[in-house]
């Protein structure tokens, strides 16, 4: 017998992974959660059948969502993380001794419970004393905050289902308000390659631009996400990730990373012309 996990990236494209063993299947109040073990990717977990995290390559996503803002402003102390139930984003943040406080708001407690059991590689720092876990809707949580955070990371699912509210104008406006005057907002920004994802990317970019004076997009190679060409949004009230990056400060920390380095930080903001055109269209 062979068991294959298949994700439909578009109506016309499928990506399949040979599964050695299904480890967990559950249905939370919000979504279906599955964990599988595979030879190629180790353990991986999916929400409503969509790939979230694999042991093999989670380092790419987590390096790029955390170290890009942290190298841009090494003085970040107070962080809000929305989503990120697998724990990988918090794991990377806790490596900075300079960070004093991390609020993590995940709507679905079952995701955290399942990842603690099956993905200890990512869910390993959730008990750090600086981490405060809230099992709530991030959209509501951020409404109550003002001038509080140096950095907000939106590590969400796609813009449908439980993650939908995290791509709205109201949400981005509230993030702006919740950030201090030199605050940074980073979010996962979908892919430019297939039309349906590119439309989500354009919509998010357009909405974020309405609030933040600095608004850039950067990219990474994430082979287990649709097209493997994945984007992140970097929005900020003050810092430009290209000119304000403090390479010396970041390199002097001596953090060992498998993907991120300060050259790739700068290189990741150099986008293909077709992506630049999609963003320009959205910004008009």
Distance CA 128, CA 134 (A): 14
In this chain, which of 10, 27, 147, 251 binds its own copies, going by CB under 8 A?
A: 10
In this chain, which of 30, 31, 33, 38 binds its own copies, going by CB under 8 A?
A: 38
Distance CA 216, CA 195 (A): 20
Number of residues lying near its own copies (CB under 8 A):
40
Among the residue ranges 37-45, 113-121, 177-185, 232-240, the one whose residues contact its own copies (CB under 8 A)? 37-45
Shortest Cβ 9–its own copies spacing (Å): 9
In this chain, which of 31, 89, 122, 227 binds its own copies, going by CB under 8 A?
A: 227
Distance CA 269, CA 266 (A): 6
Shortest Cβ 69–its own copies spacing (Å): 18
Distance CA 139, CA 133 (A): 15
In this chain, which of 22, 26, 272, 283 binds its own copies, going by CB under 8 A?
A: 272
Distance CA 129, CA 117 (A): 20
Q: List, as residue ranges, the binding site for S-methyl-5'-thioadenosine.
A: 31, 106, 137-138, 162
Considering only residues 83 through 142, tell me which ones interact with its own copies, judged by CB under 8 A. Answer: none
Q: Which residues pair with 229 in a beta bridge?
A: 221
Among the residue ranges 15-23, 96-104, 148-156, 243-251, the one whose residues contact its own copies (CB under 8 A)? 15-23
Considering only residues 43 through 82, tell me which ones interact with its own copies, judged by CB under 8 A. Answer: 57, 60
Shortest Cβ 261–its own copies spacing (Å): 6
- The greatest distance separating any two alpha carbons of the chain, rounded to the nearest whole angstrom, comes to 58
Q: What is the DSSP letter of 111?
A: H
User: Any catalytic annotation for residue 20?
Assistant: no
Residue 8: CB atoms within 10 Å: 12
Q: Is residue 21 a contact point for its own copies (CB under 8 A)?
A: no
Q: Print the binding letters for residues 188-217 with its own copies: x by CB under 8 A, - otherwise.
A: -----xx-----------------------
Distance CA 229, CA 188 (A): 12
Residue 262: CB atoms within 10 Å: 17
3-state secondary structure at position 130: coil
Measured CA angle at 234 (ends 44, 214), to 5 deg: 170
Nearer to its own copies, 28 or 261 (CB): 261
Nearer to its own copies, 44 or 96 (CB): 44
CB 45 within 8 A of CB 53: yes
155, 182, 195, 240: which is the annotated catalytic residue?
Answer: 155
Catalytic center residues: 155
């Amino acid at each position: 017998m062979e068991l294959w996990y298949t994700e439909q990236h578009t109506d016309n494209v499928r990506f399949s992974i040979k599964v050695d063993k299904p480890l967990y299947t559950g249905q939370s109040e919000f979504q279906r959660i599955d964990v599988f073990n595979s030879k190629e990717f180790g353990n991986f977990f999916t929400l409503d059948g969509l790939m979230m995290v694999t042991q093999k390559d989670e380092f790419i996503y987590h390096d790029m969502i955390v170290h890009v803002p942290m190298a841009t402003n090494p003085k970040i102390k107070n962080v809000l993380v929305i989503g990120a139930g697998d724990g990988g984003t918090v794991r990377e943040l806790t490596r900075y001794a300079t960070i004093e406080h991390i609020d993590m708001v995940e709507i679905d407690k079952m995701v955290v419970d399942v990842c603690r059991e099956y993905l200890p590689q990512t869910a390993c720092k959730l008990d750090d004393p600086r981490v405060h876990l809230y099992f709530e809707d991030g959209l509501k949580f951020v409404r109550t905050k003002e001038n509080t955070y140096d950095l907000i990371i939106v590590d969400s699912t796609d813009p449908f289902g439980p993650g939908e509210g995290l791509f709205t104008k109201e949400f981005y406006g509230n993030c702006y308000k919740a950030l201090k005057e030199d605050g940074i907002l980073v979010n996962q920004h979908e892919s430019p390659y297939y039309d349906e994802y590119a439309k989500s990317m354009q919509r998010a970019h357009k909405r974020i631009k309405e609030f933040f004076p600095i608004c850039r997009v950067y990219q990474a190679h994430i082979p287990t996400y649709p097209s493997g060409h994945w984007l992140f949004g970097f929005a900020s009230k003050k810092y430009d990730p290209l000119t304000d990056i403090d390479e010396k400060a970041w390199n002097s920390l001596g953090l060992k990373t498998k993907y991120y380095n300060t050259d790739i930080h700068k290189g990741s903001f150099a986008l293909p012309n077709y992506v630049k055109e999609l963003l320009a269209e959205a910004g008009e």
